[in-house]
Amino acid sequence: MYSPGKVLYNERMCAEITRDRLISLLEVARLYYHEDLDQASIADRMGYSRPTISRMLAEARRHGIVTVTISHPIERLVTLEKRLTRTFGLKEARVAEDRNDGNPNPSTGVARLCGDLLLEHCGPRSVIAVSNGRTVGAVAHHLPKRVWPESTAVAMLGSVGESFHLEDGPDICRNLALRLGGRHRSLSVPLVFDSPDNARMVRSEEQIVTTLELAARSDVALTGVGAVGETTSSPLLRRWMTPAVMRECRRKNIVAHVCGHHLDAEGNHVRTALCDRTLCLDPSRLSEIPLVIGVAAGRDKVDALRATLRGDYLSALVTDESTARSLLEGV
């Protein structure tokens, strides 16, 4: 944006240009930048030639009468994206503007931005692995439609139960496939079993083995990041977070869970009493997927996101502006 600036009338400027000349330059700049007249029209109005008006506009720039400001909110967000990729060694980062309505649910902006990034790295025959969770469900819900009948959405972990609706893996897989016009492979078995023996038996079933193997060989993975606090956990694991498991998490400095796995503050995978009972893709196999997109936002997710990034479980991140700034503080 160009704007005629305020003239500071000082000795240095007086030595370079007269007051009358300054007034003429200001008038030319005002007509050109504020009233959107072309140079020929200004020349006719002021009685100058068009080349003279062109030279006067250049002179106005030179003397600081006209200054140039390049500004847009996206510039601020792109700067944060570059810092995130550089700081955490990511392949991609996307930052959405903060929502200001006090709603704790994931913003439409974050979900849409994540969907756009997902589609940038997918094609008509892509296999897309997904976890469960509110934010992942929102991405699938807002994803632009495609007609990709040979695409496949596949679950990376078991189901948390019918009460989660779009937050649960089978529903997200189905919804994502509908948006893409493709197929889906879900895991309609519990995320956490009553005993390690039951989990081990189901984990060995052919359908489960082939589905998890398909997820491990996917082109892109999309996962949420859950926070584990002193006394709370994200809704996805809350029903299994007994007082004993919570005490174990505090003792082991666990702050996050990703795809059913707990992580400490340094990003290390920490085994808990739930591990042998959980049905999900092994965390070591996430590194085999070309792009693993983590999507999460909010003050309560900062420590969990930082741990997940430290552990190199993600190669791309989609979040909002305040979360991005918090992640970069002190880094």
pLDDT tens digit string along 291-308? Answer: 999 999 999 899 999 999
Angle at 237 between CA 174 and CA 233, to 5 degrees: 130
pLDDT in the model for residue 231: 59
Residues forming CATH 3.40.50.1360 domain(s) in the chain: 73-328
Tens-place pLDDT, residues 140-163: 999 999 999 999 999 999 988 755
- Domain 2-68: which CATH class? mainly alpha
Amino acid 67 reads: T
**Phi-psi map region of 228: left, alpha, beta (phi>0 left; psi -120 to 50 alpha):** beta
The answer to pTM > 0.85 is no
CATH number of this structure's domain 73-328: 3.40.50.1360
Decide which of 2 and 231 is more confident: 231
What is the C-alpha separation between 201 and 164, in angstroms, rounded? 25
pLDDT in the model for residue 5: 43
The full 3-state SS of 122-167, as one line of letters, equals CCCCCEEEECCCHHHHHHHHHCCCCCCCCCEEEECECECCHHHHHH
Q: Is 101 helix (H, G, I), strand (E, B) or coil?
A: coil
Q: What is the mean pLDDT of the chain?
A: 88
Measure Cα distances from 212 to 40, 203, 285, 324 in Å: 70, 9, 10, 31
